[in-house]
Amino acid sequence: MAVTQNQLASKTLNILLVTSISFGVYFVLDELYFGKLRQWLDRAIHQLGTSHILTYLIMGIPIYLGTLLMHRVKGALDSLGLTRSLLEGIIAPLIFTLPMFIGYAWVFEFNAEVTFDKVAVGVIAAAFFEELFFRGFLFGQLYRYTKIGFIPSILLGALLFASVHLYQSQEVSILVGIFGATFFGAVMFAWVYVEWGYNLWVPIFLHLFMNLSWMLFSVSDNAWGGNYANIFRVSTILLTVILTIVYKKRKGIRLEVNRRTIWMKKEVLQQSF
């Protein structure tokens, strides 16, 4: 049965409302109670890394409910990009991040202070839950299921994503660098998510490997880093973009983010509700 413009407008409004409210509730609860809940769980199980992951799982309840409301149980995981190829999601990012692993191993010393807790908090949880909540949900629902284009869909999420990393320093110059790096990172992860067929595992593992290389070789204690840190990070970004474009060209698939989808799309990519 054909969907009328009024029905489409109604669905779009519903998606906007559910996505905004669900993410808003999550974000407020996270800001207010994440630290307290993690501290309580850590006292109970005495394992910081596990407590951190469990806290993320609990804090994400508003997002899970919003996803179920929009897509029901059957379509929930697919709407977040979690039903796509896991193998593809690991191999492609591993190739993309070779400049960071090789470059950092060459320039920096191995970080002997790496622990399970640090990896669980700064690598595993950061990559999985930030991509799930910010890209799979906040960005993905708006871009995939409404006529809103790429830039408007990613703008709010990128601003919030960048803002939550500002705890890493008190110096204005470094804060500007952190904000810029994480804002651009949010845009890149969203672009990768879209161009790899809404396979959320690709930005998850790209994020994970980038964070892991940063941690393994004592690159920096914040997201900005220094000259060498950014040379190899930019190399990874360029390799990601180039190989993604080459891969799609050889497959005969045009880039989805283009002048027709950058601001407003003529049609909804996928249906919901």
Residue 272 lies in a domain: no
* Within a domain: 110: yes
Domain assignment present for residue 69? The answer is yes
**Helices 5-45 and 48-59: angle between axes, nearest 10 degrees:** 150
Domain count of the fold of the chain:
1
264 is a domain residue: no
Query: Which structure tokens are listed for 92?
Result: 């492609």
What residues contact 152, with CB distance under 8 A and at least 6 apart?
142, 263, 264
Question: Within a domain: residue 98?
Answer: yes
What is the token pair recorded at 11?
Answer: 């669905």
154 in any annotated domain: yes
The answer as to whether 182 is a domain residue is yes
Token pair 């970004």: residue: 237
* Residues 13-55 pLDDT 10s: 899 999 999 999 999 999 999 999 999 999 999 999 999 999 9
- Tens-place pLDDT, residues 170-196: 888 888 988 999 999 999 999 999 999
In a domain, 9, yes or no: yes
Q: Domain of 118?
A: 5-250
Residue position matching structure tokens 């790429």:
150
